[in-house]
Chains A and B, each alone.
Chain A
Amino acid sequence: MKLLNYTTKYFAAILLFALLLFTVIFYFQMLDEIYDSLDDGLENQKILVINRAKKDPSVFNKTSFKDGYYTIHPTTYSEIKNVKDSYRDTLMYMLNEKDYEPVRLLESAFRQDGKYYKLKVITSMVEEDDLIEDLLYSILWLYIGLVAGVLFLNNWVLKRLWRPFYSLLNNLKNFNIEKEQSIELENTNIEEFKLLNLQVEKLLQKSIDSFKAQKQFIENASHELQTPLAISINKLELLAEKEELSSNNMTLLASVLENLERMTRLNHALLLLSKIDNKQFVEEENLNIVQLVTQIANDFSDFANHKNIEISISSDDTIQKYMNKDLAIILFTNLIKNAIIHTSLNSIITIKIHNQKVSIENESETSKLDDQQLFSRFYKVNPHKSSTGLGLAISKAIADKYELELIYIYDRYHIFIVNFQ
């Protein structure tokens, strides 16, 4: 959920709660005030009635509410000696509403001319259910209005406020450390965002620096390894030529040489990867990819024939690409070589050039490869094979450099596709 929606959600919940609470308190307070004012009115009327009774004895005939707002009943002292003015709610049939409606009733007693009278004064009351209903409606409208207000606030005001943050997020999403370019930060006057931008910038610069240093380190290390490797291999070759070694020792020597050579290949591959990463292949030319792929496939024909593998090329498209020739050769050499090495004996490797795509398919007993891992460095399907585990990583690095799509699909065949579109 988005940050803005979160605030809206919380605001809506808080507002709902606060408004309900407010409504309840408001309702009771208002009711209290209404009662207070009604009771005052009733008391005033009581005094008026008592005063009138002093002048007009017909008042004492009002024994029912039929045509007035008060009743007077004669009573005895014993009955009223404990009576104080009491207010209560009651129901009375209202002619206009044709229904029983609540009324406020004041019961009191007074003495006149030595006689005691009980007095009841009524006044019409607020209808609480109507009041509650009205109140609820207005609160509902208020609530809707407020939520709409919050939404508006979020979408216009907060969105504007948070813009530097969202722009930072967006930039981070597009950040690619391999491009070694820090992101562009939006200027802001908000202290927190300023700080955030500053820290992110520092962090990115640090990452870029260590990324560069790491690449440089691999390249330097590989370079430094070349000379000792050369010396060791050459010394062993000279030793092997001496013809004074037993066959056992020669076998040992062969194994050492083989492993040194393996190390050399690994070193070459690492160096190549670093060079691609460090953008050291500058020379570029317009290449005829179809021709290039055909040539590479031909170069491998001896090797393929030996394994009784047929390489079939079909092409119904022309692909031109402006790129470094060595890298283009390495890209396809690795893919084709991989296909030859991993294909089953006596099978066919199909290279199709179609629709600006080069696909290389081979059969294999191995089922689908892990396409998450496949292009990562040192990924090996068969650990015992003396491959460097860098071939596909190199191909991928080259493809990435030229923004070509290199994908792997498994559909009974292992298919590698280079997309030039």
Chain B
Amino acid sequence: MKVLIIEDEQEMLQNMKQTLEKEDYLVETATDYDSAFLKIGVYDYDCILLDISLPGKSGLEILKELKKREVSDGVIIVSAKNSLDDKLEGLHLGADDYLPKPFHMAELNARIKAIFRRRNLKGDTLIKIENLNIDIENRIALIEDEALLLNRKEFDILFYLASNKNRLVNKTALAEHVWGDHIDQTDSFDFIYSQIKNLRKKLKDHNVQVEVKAIYGIGYKLVSL
């Protein structure tokens, strides 16, 4: 999988690069309009992460140019502006997703994977980890062929953790992804914990060969047993 990150902030760029390389993607970077087009001209990317507040030409210009050239890369706009106008314009110009800064690495991961699924793995919407199969299309988890009965939130948690398999998922990232941005009170974390506990119990009861590990107050990690 090839990913291009267009971002002028070096540190931000390095963060994204590191986290994506852990997923074994081939990551290229560009810091401005010209170097971005140099790369886009040479390679086809599966996904482009585009910061729209670039110096000189706005990221939206790049988006327009991509559309003009009929490049079919999946574009995720990354923006510090978190402005509705940019979001609407970006999506209108053919971006696939919009991710406001600051975001969690787990969220970035999940969004990129969603793009890949939509673009490359058409029809193949199954995540397979050990004996656990997650059917994303139909929103069901299967152990071999037996359905694991999960409620909506439990499924969302499992899916999100599975998208970030072997990665540490920040509990805030998890809460925001599953319950939306408005869950932003720390006293909601023991609520997440109780949901995780239920999920763990179900996984264990069905002898699923994965485990949700808690990591020192930071978050959770889905690992194979």
- A residues apposed to B, CB below 8 Å: 223, 226-227, 229-231, 233-235, 237-238, 240-241, 247, 250-251, 253-255, 257-258, 261-262, 264-265, 268, 271, 275, 280-281, 283, 299, 302-303, 306-307, 326, 333, 337, 341, 385-387
Residues of A within 8 A of B44 (CB): none
Q: B interface, how many residues as a size bin?
A: 35 or more
Contacts A254-B217, A302-B179 given; indicate if A280 touches B153 (C-beta within 8 A). no
B25 on the A face (CB < 8 A)? no
A254 to nearest B CB, angstroms? Answer: 4
B216 engages A251 (CB within 8 Å): yes
Q: Which of B81, B194, B216 contacts A247 (CB 8 A)?
A: B216
Q: Which of A234, A281, A303 contacts B15 (CB 8 A)?
A: A234
A71 to nearest B CB, angstroms? Answer: 118
B123 on the A face (CB < 8 A)? no
Bound: A302/B215 CA distance, A: 24
Bound: A337/B170 CA distance, A: 22
Among the listed stretches B112-120, B126-134, B142-150, B184-192, which one makes contact with chain A, having 4 or more residues with CB under 8 Å of it?
B184-192
Interface centre among B82, B217, B218 (most CB of A within 10 A): B218
Q: Mark B164-184, 1 if CB is under 8 A from A, else 0.
A: 000110101000000110111
B104 engages A303 (CB within 8 Å): no
Q: Which 8 pairs show the lowest CB-CB distances between chains A and B?
A: A230-B102, A250-B216, A254-B217, A226-B80, A234-B15, A230-B101, A306-B191, A254-B218
B169 to nearest A CB, angstroms? Answer: 9
Bound: A247/B218 CA distance, A: 11
Contacts A227-B9, A302-B191 given; indicate if A280 touches B84 (C-beta within 8 A). yes
B105 engages A234 (CB within 8 Å): yes
B105 to nearest A CB, angstroms? Answer: 5
Residues of A within 8 A of B187 (CB): 341, 385
A234 engages B19 (CB within 8 Å): yes
Residues of B within 8 A of A226 (CB): 80-82, 100-102
B180 engages A299 (CB within 8 Å): yes
Query: Which B residues, 70 to 106, have Cβ-Cβ distances below 8 Å to chain A?
Result: 80-85, 100-106
